[in-house]
Structure 1
Amino acid sequence: MKNKVVALMLLIPLLLIFTTFSLANVSSLYVPVSVSSITSLNKNVEYIELTENNTLNIQNQILPLKAENQEVTYSKSSVGNYSMPNINISNDGIITAFTPGTCKITTTTNDGGYVSSFILEVNSKLPLDFVITSNNEVKINETLYLTANLIPSNSTGTIKWYSSNNNIAKVEELTGKLTPIQSGEVTVTAILNNGLNGQIVKTQKITILKGDVIATMNGSTESSIKTYSGKVDFVASVDLDKVNEEDINFNYDEEKFLKFNIVNQLGVNTANFIIDAELNPFYSSATIELRSKETVLSTLTIIITDDLESDSCSFVGLNDYLQINAKNDFTVSFEPEDLEGVNVEIIVENNDVLALLTDGLNFQIEALKVGTNIVTAKFYVNDNFVCEIYKTVTVLAPYTGLNFEENSQTFGLVSDEIFVFGKYKIENNDYVLDEYTLKLTATEEIDLNKIDIYSSDSNIATVSGNKLKVVSNGIVTIYAESKDAKLLNLQQTPASFTLKVIDGVNVSTYDDIVKATEESKVVVLQNKINLGVEVLIKNGNNTSLISNAKSILQSEVKQIDTTADYTYYTNIGKERPTINYILEFKNDVYGNGYSLNADNITNVIDSYGFPYNDAVFKGPLDYVSLQNIASVKAQDNIVYLVRNDNVKINNIELKGCDDVDDLTKLNYTGTTLEIMGDNVTLFNSRVQNGRNVVRIFGDYEDSNKQITVNIENCILRNAREFILKIGTNKYILGDITGASDEYSAASPSLGGYTARNDNNLDDLTFMENYVKTIVNLKNSVLTNSGLFAIGMECKFAGPCLDGKQYNSYKFSELGWYNLAGTSYPAVLNLIGDVRIYDFKDIELIDSSTLIEVSANINNFPINFNIAEMITSLNTQQEYNGIIVDYNNHTYAHGGIVYYGGGKNYSIVNLEDFTGEKFTNYSIMFDDLNNTTRSDLLKLAAGKEPFRFLMYNSTSDFSVQKQIDDLHSGIAFRYIRNLNK
């Protein structure tokens, strides 16, 4: 089996040299049916309410339905500045939520790394927790309002506040108003009884500072206390840094007091006095002075009254704004506090909006409905009406789960890609300024009048309502906040959506992208686009064309002159041939993760697998042909073409046709992407489904010009021949006339340099004057080739290609001359983690797969005997490990091949490659032990060795690793995480 693989390797030139497509019986190259897409069946934003149900099922549809590996991997990630919920995702896609928060749920197919996603908002109507947010210091003679934020912010609950020492600081239970009495430290306790998991208790230490005043009574330098009974108690505090303790005295009219008791409590640099006093009922008032010697530091007036004054009546703890479904505990205050016989009646104007509960002087209202209501408190003393007070209470419904739906999407292959929006659109065949409609969502129906939407940079984009208008290029974040949440003083994290604005044209249709690319515009995909018009009618296994298919197909392609060697056509008296292409990217392309698919144009084949006469993609040009017997194939038709320099292709999926389960179905689909410009960058993209997937052979117009192409963070897959085919269009011709060594003459040396010498990389002259193509392939995945993942092609250089006669066959009379030569080199730099998942079951590959010739081949002596080749290699040991036996099958790795038969000066540079190093094999036609066929192979292709960089039976990058990585998704998922 090992020798069979080697023989198959040697047949690679035959695919290129003796290839035609007139053979009906061609073996298939079956590959697993690949996943082509995954679509979320969940809403863009899903909600879990913890008080009701804490689970949600993830639902997706994977296409095609017959995809072999439908395994997926679930993950969560952050959204903007929202806090992450604590959730668990089971292997079968059931989310269980434990805490509130917002995140993105992403499902990634293990095959291909396709993703679907949605936003998950976990809410709780009841608080899970709260955080005290008020200061932990306050000065005497100031007021501190204790505050806390509920978690989540849109939950509802009442926090009650308590002081550990009312002599140091008093705290109003419902409002959290803290009044310092004296310097010191007090512990404040906050209790919320209706938490999701029961009562929540938090404490905070508050330090009472002396402040700027020298002395206070009852927390103030000048105050009064109204009393009905005449009994009062209060605290006086003096700063001993400013007053001597022995100078402190209280001045009052002793006749007016029945009792005036003083308890001295020394603090840190503070004198504190607890006063317990009772006023003589014969007096209506009395004033107390706190002095330092004769200097008055503070005064307090005590007033006896039995009158309830309306201006002393107020609501305590009743909020101006209430969140719907919230409950608000409140009370009322009045002076004197100890007045007897006081009753209060609370009246709610509209019971549909607010519900009222009463318990003595403790009240509670519940917000039932959005609206405005008036709450009235009527005060009675001994059943006599005294006064009434009013307060307007507004019930609001702040948005919960406010989010931009755009955040539910994943914009492409790499996880941190952001949405790109162009400044223009096509309207009435003209370019006009475009505006973007923001997609906001929440648990409630959206009313834009209740949302503040604003831009982080109005120089880039402005917002009016939900319309975004572009001003200039740049990255901008759009924010949205609930106005009601602001009124309720709820802590809210603004919804945010970040996008990149560029000077490009947004395209969503086939007509749009044709116009924009033809007119050299930067294009931005806003939808997946199927190119062309469907001309193929499918009826079961039978196919037919619509009547005007030919004119439609011809209108959908354009032509360029071939850049490959067309000497053969000149030799037989024909003009320089042209090839078809569908789209040319003349400027940058931003895909937003969407796909372009040319199946309508490239895949016009009959039920036998051959192209219709009206088809425009019928296979590659001939490099050389042996009449109707066999032919060498050269450049193919192109689906996506790049000829300009400095073009960037980002975050797109380029398909030559629909996905296939048999690589032989890609015979006629052409090259998916051909790059002929310098400094072209392809990154964060997928390119797939072509006879060759990516072809890079130098500049379009100038074969002397060196071009550099960068491919980074990409997935390249599904090629009939090579996934990445690299070479140059420049060469020097051989000349065997009169040569003693016809093989050397057919492939002359290049500038005196030695071929197959990686040291040439360090030669500046070689790199600048001879290397015409440089490809930097970084952090990418290549998989599913019919031959090899990467082909480094050089010119074929057999003497027959320069007119040498073989037996009685005069090839020169068939145009076979001036074709042999030596190609200028290309350099491939493998950088970082490049993975070639291309082990093949060799039983799926046979000679009819690699040599497709017409039935007339039997009339010409090139009926190659595979068994003879295998026998000739049986005794050779240098190919140990080239095949891998695994699970009763035999595999070979389709890595990198240098091929062509002439001197191959191209180089694969592995200096910055972080993957496992390849094993290097070198195979010559002489390895066939001079069988009759080896001579013919050398005469046709040349005798220079073919080189192979492959993984083998001793590699850690094994068949098992390939199977595991592809099945588990590691093969593709690591690309998504590269920029994290």
Structure 2
Amino acid sequence: MKKLVTALIIVLPFVLLISLFALTSVASVSADIPANGLVINNKGAGVFSFDLANYQNRMYEKDLGVEVLPYMAKNKTYSLSVTDANTGEKSDIVTLEKDGSFALHDVGVAKLTYTSNDGGYSDSVVFNVGSSGVLSYVPSLKDAVGNTVTLSVGDDTDFEANIEVGSYVLSGNYYPSTATNIHASYKSENDDKIQIDEVSGKINAYFETNGVVSIFVKDAFGNDVEKKIRLIVSRSGDLMINGQRTSSNRNDTASVTAPLGTTNFTLFVDCKDVKNNDIRISGAKSADYRVRKLYDVSDSAYAVDVTLNEPVNSPMEGLLYSVRINGNPSSTRYFKLSFADYAFSVNSLANADGNDDLVVLDETTTRFVVSSNPDDGLTYTWRTDDPSVAEISEQSGKYCHITAIAQGKTQLRIDWQKIENGTLISNGTITRNLIVTKSYASLIFNEAASSHGLGKLAIANRKFENGTVTDAEYVTKLFNNVIGKDQSQEEIEYPFDDIVFKSSNDSVLSPEKTADGVKFIVKDTGEVTITAEWIYGDRFGAKATSITVNAVNGVYVNTYDELKIATEMKKQIVLQNDIYLGEKLTDEQGNLLYSESETTQKLLSFVKTIKTTGDYKYYSNLGEEQPNVYVCFEFENDVYGNGHFVSAEYITNMRGALTDTVPSYALFKGPLNFVAANMSGIDIASVKAQDNISFLVRKNGIVLDNVTLAGCDDSSLYVKDKLGNSKLELALLNEKGTTLEVMCDATVRYCRIKNGRTVVRVFGKSSISASSVVNPQRERINATFDGCRMHTAREFVLKIGTNRILRGNADDLAPSFVDSNGNAYTDHNSVSCDKYANDKYFTNNYVLTDVTLKDSILSTSGLFSVGVESHFSGSLLDMPTLGFNYLKGWDGLAATSYPACLRLVGNVILDDWKELTQVDSSTLIEVNLKSDQQSFGWLQLNIPQMLKEVCKQPGYGNIISTIDGKDYVHGGIALYGGGKNYSIIDTSKYTFESMSQYLVNIGVLENSTDETLRMQGQMLPMAAGGENFRFVMFDATSKFNATNNKR
């Protein structure tokens, strides 16, 4: 693409930057006041509990009182996300309806997070949803040994199943499984075909037939929900007794059980060959047999009523009996008859095995069912030993309702009797242990209801107390949703009976039960998941709850002094409060609290100085020492912020009531010069270099986690426009310095960084002598920014580059890098540079700054979201050939910078559409012209007009997006400098919408019909250099466009 106007760069709010000079005076660059917080005013403890079965009076979003701060914020909209409070996965338990009410669709613990659309600030509440009744169920059919029978969708019934003759149990899989108020009953359409106990659901399918059984369940809303199951019954033998196959082999045949003490019972025979009811049974015990054909069942179905001559009162096993059909000896089959005591099973929803201890929930009523084998028409009476623990609230034969009164243990006793013809045949008592426990069906940690900035909660094991460091304890609370109580959200108290706490890594953090709550004992630094699990959770289908935290083997910090001491002690830091660096030196009206000299001394006591790491040859040419920059605070160990901020407001913002001037006693007055044009001791124009720094990181391996770093307060940037509307004035950031400078291998994750001339700057390692030979392996730094939000910059939000250069000369102002064969790398200042990301020789030998920007959002810049800088290399920077006095010190400044690499990973969003009128680069080249210096007036660039000139060029028309008569441009990525720029943009792992790329060259302005623009096209390349600038940006054709994303 042909070289195009730097106008574009400027346009992109940047062009100026590369150009040598800029506007004569400080321009006003305003933006809408952004959101800086979101609160849920009516969240209470943060947890709301609901019984889905009794959710008649809906809760509305307006009841929560969601508010975006500050009140002057332009965009006060927000969005809602609903996630599982334990897993963090998306959840549809709760939805917000069109009328503003919350609809509950399921049971569980949902976290509702409100997030401001501007800035991504959030606050959360938890909806703990349970149900005292059944919401839905699916029938469950099991055979005599507990194997599940497959139910398929029926043609004329809800379900159907193919089964063999035998005994089965029909029940339900109830949802939620924690519901205890369950009423189920059973019915057969034809009891002769298929018998089913109306209380227990036990099925006797003794014949090859086809029949329908039903289960009726009363749901949470009082509806009787019926599910019909068609059972298609087949037999596997030619003669079946009580659902078992008989055999001609005496030793391997059916076994039938009859109860002790009775003289009457019935055998059920299924055989196709029977004629005239000729079924003859004989065996060890004398009896009379009466055969009945069951015509409404099938042609092969018979009942044989057995009357013993005398009862069997003691157990007997395996008495051999024979069956002969139609008097034919060859048809003889055998079965074994046993007389046994009854085997009992006592069941409820959470006690399905029927034989173990029974568990019921405190202050609930649970339905129990007793069944016997053999099933022999017994009568039952239920009682408990200790009614103060649990009492029988209702009973009717095989079932009863037990109401749990208090936690504890007692005995459940069921007295049974067998009565025939009014005579008591046998009796006994069934005994089960009955355990009453708290209902921990919906556990949640106290922390789940809170938001902790952009990241996770961090917990330290040390704290400051009276100026010394001592052990710190972290005690959390565990809550439970108790359905049906006035206070449904209930704190679980010591000793946490029936709750088990587990850590994913006990060597880092272990939980301990204490009288005050659950103590988290931090032993080391790392991410840990703590789980609380109810020991009866499996019985009731209750899930465990968990939280994931950052355990930190470090110290809690609450004040500026503690921050300094912890840093000196080389402790990892966990913030518990917002912190201001230094001391407030003005009153609320901006007036000094001390004299100017005292104020200066106090400011100096708050900062330290470091030698500039940038190119300071201009100062050397003037005979000056390597200059210093101020640093407000250096992080020398890891910091976990818990969403709290650290602000440099008291140091960087000394304008006070005089918003138009920076007072002489201020330390932060603007950046150093890269080069300046000087007349009569006054810099009439200067290109800026490294700036003062609010926060510095120079130690390899440092982690900044979930902390907000502010170069100044948001409120310090608020002004009123001519109409009285509040605005954010970016020009007030001119002297605020760089918010965060990284000079080492470091990880910055889930942080907010804001409010600086530059917000984040990464330019290479510190303590490297400019005169030393470049050692890439020792000097390279790798900085990662993950999940961050960076915003509000006068110039660039993120500015990257390197401090090392190939110095040029009159013959070669911008030297080239060479490959392993000594051949020059010819691809520079173009998209082709990006291929160097895969060139190991190039990256190993030349890339000195490697920055990964992952899943982060950058917004609100005065120029561009990202600036990738390279050295100027114009002929004016080699002054011995020109010799103008006002350009003193410009000797040997031209060079080629070592390249940087910017890697975009995941969803990186450069949210920086702005009005063209708000594009300004006056800070990049600052101009100060007196009345007798107006011959330099051409330096006062008209950026909007320059941009429009650029748009006239083929292929550049989409740079400007016009909406409702206003022109907008996107501040994306600018690779600038004027010399050779070898820097790399690696988008191989970038997943957001692709941006367009434009190449722009200042020299194209020479062809403009506008005299000023033509002068700029002739002169600016002499200072900056003649190479292209590269811009990576969204344009009018992008989906991420100005229509929905402009500021």
Aligned equivalents of 2:830, 2:452: Cα separation in 1: 43
The one of 672, 682, 685 equivalent to 1:621 is: 672
2:439: which partner in 1? 398
Residue type of the alignment partner of 1:233:
T
The one of 903, 918, 933 equivalent to 2:997 is: 918
Indicate yes or no: 2:1038 matched with 1:956.
Answer: yes
Q: CA deviation at 1:522?
A: 4.9
Mapping of 1:277-676 within 5 angstroms?
277-278=306-307, 290-291=321-322, 297-299=335-337, 321-324=359-362, 326-328=364-366, 354=391, 356-357=393-394, 364=401, 366-367=403-404, 395-410=436-451, 413=454, 421=459, 436-442=474-480, 443-448=489-494, 449-455=496-502, 457=504, 459-460=506-507, 461-465=509-513, 466-470=518-522, 476-483=528-535, 489-499=539-549, 501=551, 510-523=560-573, 525=574, 527=576, 529-539=578-588, 542-545=590-593, 550=600, 553-591=603-641, 594-609=644-659, 610-625=661-676, 626=678, 627-630=681-684, 631-659=686-714, 660=717, 661-676=728-743
Q: CA deviation at 1:111?
A: 1.1
**In the alignment, is the contact (CA less than 8 A) between 1:796 and 1:821 conserved in 2?**
yes
Indicate yes or no: 2:915 matched with 1:890.
Answer: no
1:973: which partner in 2? none
Indicate yes or no: 2:27 matched with 1:27.
Answer: yes
The one of 114, 120, 130 equivalent to 2:121 is: 114
Q: SS of the counterpart of 1:862?
A: helix
Aligned equivalents of 1:875, 1:656: Cα separation in 2: 36
For each residue in 1:437-489, what CA deviation from the matched residue of structure 2 results, as whole angstroms up to 9, or x when unmatched?
33311223312423412215464443222223345666543322335767xx4
Residue type of the alignment partner of 1:226:
G
Distance 1:427 1:157, change over 3 A: same
Q: CA deviation at 1:535?
A: 0.3
Residue type of the alignment partner of 1:730:
R
Residue type of the alignment partner of 1:156:
T
2:953: which partner in 1? 878
**In the alignment, is the contact (CA less than 8 A) between 1:422 and 1:503 conserved in 2?**
yes
Residue type of the alignment partner of 1:153:
S
Distance 1:400 1:828, change over 3 A: closer
Aligned equivalents of 2:345, 2:1029: Cα separation in 1: 93
1:72: which partner in 2? 78
Q: SS of the counterpart of 2:224?
A: strand
**In the alignment, is the contact (CA less than 8 A) between 2:7 and 2:949 conserved in 1?**
no
2:763: which partner in 1? 697
For each residue in 1:585-633, what CA deviation from the matched residue of structure 2 results, as whole angstroms up to 9, or x when unmatched?
4455555555443334333332223445554433222334533344443
Distance 1:480 1:750, change over 3 A: closer
**In the alignment, is the contact (CA less than 8 A) between 2:257 and 2:374 conserved in 1?**
no
1:98: which partner in 2? 105
For each residue in 1:939-959, what CA deviation from the matched residue of structure 2 results, as whole angstroms up to 9, or x when unmatched?
97244245242558653257x
Residue type of the alignment partner of 1:619:
G
Residue type of the alignment partner of 1:224:
P
**In the alignment, is the contact (CA less than 8 A) between 1:805 and 1:811 conserved in 2?**
no
Aligned equivalents of 1:723, 1:339: Cα separation in 2: 83
Stretch moving more, 5-14 or 526-535: 5-14
2:871: which partner in 1? 795
**In the alignment, is the contact (CA less than 8 A) between 1:17 and 1:633 conserved in 2?**
no
Indicate yes or no: 2:761 matched with 1:687.
Answer: no
Distance 1:16 1:329, change over 3 A: same
Identity of aligned residues (%): 28
Distance 1:91 1:612, change over 3 A: farther
Distance 1:211 1:647, change over 3 A: farther
Aligned equivalents of 1:10, 1:300: Cα separation in 2: 97
**In the alignment, is the contact (CA less than 8 A) between 1:3 and 1:870 conserved in 2?**
no
Residue type of the alignment partner of 2:282:
F
**In the alignment, is the contact (CA less than 8 A) between 2:284 and 2:321 conserved in 1?**
no
Q: SS of the counterpart of 2:491?
A: coil
Q: SS of the counterpart of 2:829?
A: coil
The one of 859, 862, 884 equivalent to 1:786 is: 862
Q: CA deviation at 1:75?
A: 2.0
**In the alignment, is the contact (CA less than 8 A) between 1:136 and 1:206 conserved in 2?**
no
**In the alignment, is the contact (CA less than 8 A) between 1:824 and 1:905 conserved in 2?**
yes
1:152: which partner in 2? 176
Residue type of the alignment partner of 1:323:
L
2:351: which partner in 1? none
**In the alignment, is the contact (CA less than 8 A) between 1:325 and 1:366 conserved in 2?**
yes
2:154: which partner in 1? none
1:978: which partner in 2? none
Q: SS of the counterpart of 1:51?
A: helix
For each residue in 1:359-381, what CA deviation from the matched residue of structure 2 results, as whole angstroms up to 9, or x when unmatched?
79976554566677788889999
Q: CA deviation at 1:691?
A: 0.5
Residue type of the alignment partner of 2:1000:
Y
Give the structure-2-normalised TM-score. 0.73
1:971: which partner in 2? none
Structure 2: segments with no counterpart, 5+ residues: 147-163, 234-241, 324-328, 349-353, 481-488, 718-727, 819-823
The one of 137, 142, 149 equivalent to 1:130 is: 137
**In the alignment, is the contact (CA less than 8 A) between 1:420 and 1:500 conserved in 2?**
yes
Residue type of the alignment partner of 1:108:
T
Aligned equivalents of 2:947, 2:257: Cα separation in 1: 111
**In the alignment, is the contact (CA less than 8 A) between 1:29 and 1:845 conserved in 2?**
yes
Distance 1:209 1:61, change over 3 A: farther
Q: CA deviation at 1:69?
A: 0.8
Distance 1:62 1:184, change over 3 A: same
Residue type of the alignment partner of 1:154:
T
**In the alignment, is the contact (CA less than 8 A) between 1:793 and 1:899 conserved in 2?**
yes
Give the structure-1-normalised TM-score. 0.78
**In the alignment, is the contact (CA less than 8 A) between 2:22 and 2:921 conserved in 1?**
no
Residue type of the alignment partner of 2:531:
Y
For these two proteins, the number of residue pairs brought into alignment is 926
Residue type of the alignment partner of 2:79:
T
**In the alignment, is the contact (CA less than 8 A) between 1:87 and 1:96 conserved in 2?**
yes
Residue type of the alignment partner of 1:864:
W
Q: CA deviation at 1:819?
A: 3.6
Q: SS of the counterpart of 1:226?
A: coil
Aligned equivalents of 2:908, 2:347: Cα separation in 1: 69
Aligned equivalents of 1:871, 1:107: Cα separation in 2: 42
Residue type of the alignment partner of 1:917:
S
- Quote the RMSD (CA, aligned, Å): 5.5
Indicate yes or no: 2:1007 matched with 1:941.
Answer: no
Distance 1:928 1:429, change over 3 A: farther
The one of 772, 776, 781 equivalent to 2:848 is: 772
Residue type of the alignment partner of 1:562:
T
**In the alignment, is the contact (CA less than 8 A) between 2:537 and 2:543 conserved in 1?**
no
Q: SS of the counterpart of 2:490?
A: coil
Q: CA deviation at 1:404?
A: 1.9
Aligned equivalents of 2:983, 2:358: Cα separation in 1: 79
Residue type of the alignment partner of 1:623:
F
**In the alignment, is the contact (CA less than 8 A) between 1:667 and 1:691 conserved in 2?**
yes
Residue type of the alignment partner of 1:105:
L
Distance 1:10 1:406, change over 3 A: closer
Indicate yes or no: 2:92 matched with 1:46.
Answer: no
2:158: which partner in 1? none
Residue type of the alignment partner of 1:947:
F
**In the alignment, is the contact (CA less than 8 A) between 1:232 and 1:276 conserved in 2?**
yes
The one of 266, 271, 280 equivalent to 1:233 is: 266
